[in-house]
Structure 1
Amino acid sequence: MQRIMNIPGARSVTLVDGASGLAIAASGRHALVDEHEDAAATTDVVRAVLDCPALATGRDNAITELIVCGTRGYHLLNLVNGDFDGQLFVHVLFDDDTGNLGMARFQLQGILTELQLTVMSVELAVQPHRLEKERHTGMLETLALLPESEPCPAERT
């Protein structure tokens, strides 16, 4: 969050769970609404755009970013991994006087790409442990399904 807030002109940033519309994290000055209202309202905006047939770009060219320009600033809404269904998106408000739309987009996309790579590497690091746990769980389930046999001679005494 701090790296995003260090982009020139950034006034606020909210990380939003697109499935629930809840703010996961926020930083900066949320002057007109708090981060929870921000998250709920921007989730509605993202859903409206993605559900609009007139804005559909086709399967191979999904919407990954929304830009809303106002008289005193602009909003960047970036869908993490370009996928909204149950995923995260970032809403950043920039000041028009001190921000630069092109540079802000470039820097934000770089930060989000690094975030995605970090998440992917963590998932890959965790994956072998998850597979090992699933293998052991599967073995235990298989053992539970086997018919009970006679106790071995050592257990009879």
Structure 2
Amino acid sequence: MGSTDIALKEIMTIEGALGVALVDVTSGLALGILGGGRDLDLTAAAAGNTDVVRAKMRTMEMLNLHNETIEDILITLSGQYHLIRPLTSRNGSGLFLYLALDRNRSNLAMARRQLQQIERNLDV
């Protein structure tokens, strides 16, 4: 089992995790998916959230925020949190982690911290 598979399994142990995907920002394709289901199509979420990441990157460029990096992007829904975390490692460039959390069963601050730690150790 590769590092990606282990990382996705570890992410799914985060309290309230509904699904996770490792996504290529260039193509919008999910390179790995775990969780999800009938009510959470992670393939569609990967493609849609690719547009979110690209839009934020374009906005940062327009604002001349060249020295800034995206730590994460949070989308808050009435029943879910959606976390998007671009990978920062050299070989992870152009990839992001997408995590959907059940809002009633998760601690957002802890989930962000755990996702950061897992991302830091992920070797793709």
TM-score, normalised with respect to structure 1: 0.66
* Structure holding more helix per residue: 1
Q: What is aligned with 1:101? A: 108
- For normalisation by structure 2, the TM-score amounts to 0.82
> For residue 50 of structure 1, what is the amino acid of its counterpart?
M
SS at match of 2:68: coil
The one of 32, 36, 39 aligned to 1:29 = 36
- The equivalent position to 1:67 in structure 2, one of 67, 71, 74, is 74
Structure 1 unaligned spans of 5+: 120-157
Residue 3 of structure 2 corresponds to none
> Which residue does the alignment assign to 2:26?
19
Structure 2 partner of 1:76: 83
Residue identity opposite 1:22 in structure 2: L
CA contact (8 A) 1:49 1:55 kept: no
Flag the 1:39–1:101 CA change in 2: closer, same or farther, 3 A. Answer: same
Q: CA deviation at 1:49?
A: 1.6
Unaligned runs of 5+ in 2: 1-7
Which of 5, 13, 34 in structure 2 is aligned with 1:6? Answer: 13
Contact 2:19 2:42 in 1 (8 A): no
Aligned length in residues: 116
1:63–1:82 CA contact under 8 A, matched in 2: no
Q: How far off its partner does 1:56 sit?
A: 4.2
Contact 2:18 2:35 in 1 (8 A): yes
**What do you get for the CA RMSD once the two structures are aligned?**
2.4
CA contact (8 A) 1:11 1:29 kept: yes
Q: Which structure carries more relative contact order (alpha carbon 8 Å, separation 6+)? A: 2
Moved over 4 A (4+): 53-57
Alignment CA distance shift 1:87-1:113 (3 Å): same
